[in-house]
Amino acid sequence: MSASADVLAMAKVEVSLSAIPEGKNVVIKWRGKPVFIRHRTPDEIEEANAVKVESLRDPQTDAERVKQPEWLVMVGVCTHLGCVPVGEAGDYGGWFCPCHGSHYDISGRVRRGPAPLNLEIPEYEYVSSAIIATDCRGGGLMRCIVSLRKENSSSDRRLERGEG
Ligand code: FES
- Name which residue sits closest to atom 3 of ligand 1, judged by CA: 100
Beta carbon of 35 within 6 Å of any ligand 1 atom:
no
Helix (H, G, I), strand (E, B) or coil at 21: coil
For ligand 1, what atom is nearest to the CA of residue 81?
1
In DSSP terms, 112 is beta-bridged to 103
| Pairing, β 102-105 against β 93-97 | antiparallel
- pLDDT score of 19: 73
DSSP 50-67: HS-GGGSSS---GGGT-S
Q: How far is the CA of 74 from the centre of ligand 1 (A)?
A: 16
Q: How confident is the model at residue 33 (pLDDT cuts 50, 70, 90)?
A: confident
Q: How confident is the model at residue 107 (pLDDT cuts 50, 70, 90)?
A: very high
Quote the Cα angle for 93-82-80, to 5°. 70
Higher pLDDT, residue 58 or 130:
58
Q: Is the overall model pTM greater than 0.95, yes or no? A: no
The answer, yes or no, to whether residue 126 has pLDDT greater than 60, is no
